[in-house]
Amino acid sequence: MRRYCEISTPVGLLRLSGDEEGLRGTSFQNRFRPVEAKDPERARELFREVIAQLEAYFAGERRGFDLPLAPEGTPFQREVWSALLAIPYGETVSYGELARRLGRPNASRAVGAANGRNPIPIIIPCHRVIGADGSLTGFGGGLAIKRRLLELEAGGRPARVRDTANASLFS
């Protein structure tokens, strides 16, 4: 049975979803769909380690996650999500570079679509993928949250990406 738990983080409320197999989703508040929370105490226990690791990440004490993950997607999507896990903390890559790393140099749009369907953002770090010109591009939690995650990973320094919405360069 899938369980849900909402937690407060520096980037707003996150809803965790999962079951005994592992974490199946992290959703930003702007993406919440109504769910009926059953047995919230049991859900909180199920997500105890996820919550502890997220707290350490946001405190700057953790650079990666060691959690059982159970994302649901196509084989190609799961291949892209696995490649996202290989992007080092504090680094970014373009969609085209990620496609090349997968051995599919002409698949940057498909990689972008799979990236956008990542059901476990932050933990599967889709925020580390940027446009070929260094711009911040789509993110389910919104570009402001993407920027905050990249700044967190840069040690609090502004993210080194071009923000096309404001047409300014962060350095």
- What pLDDT, on a 0 to 100 scale, did the predictor assign at position 16? 93
Better pLDDT: 169 or 117 = 117
Strands 93-94 and 129-130: parallel
8 membership: H or E segment, kind and range: strand 3-9
Angle at 43 between CA 41 and CA 44, to 5 degrees: 65
Catalytic residue flag (residue 126) = yes
Check if CATH label 1.10.10.10 holds for domain 75-169. yes
> What does the alpha-carbon distance between residue 113 and residue 79 come to, in Å, rounded to a whole number?
13
The domain limits of the chain are 3-58, 75-169
Question: In terms of Cα–Cα distance, which of 134, 132, 126 is closest to 97?
Answer: 132
Average pLDDT over residues 143-171: 63
Average pLDDT over residues 158-167: 39
Position 165 pLDDT exceeds 50: no
Set 126, 145, 152, 161: catalytic member:
126
Average pLDDT value over all residues in the chain: 85
Residue 105 in 3-state DSSP?
Answer: coil
Render pLDDT for 28-75 as a digit per residue (tens, 0 to 9).
986 666 555 566 566 678 899 999 999 999 999 999 999 999 999 999
Confidence of residue 4 (pLDDT cuts 50, 70, 90): confident
Paired with 168 in beta bridges are 163
6 compared with 49, residue with greater pLDDT: 49
Q: How confident is the model at residue 92 (pLDDT cuts 50, 70, 90)?
A: very high
Q: What is the pLDDT of residue 1?
A: 81
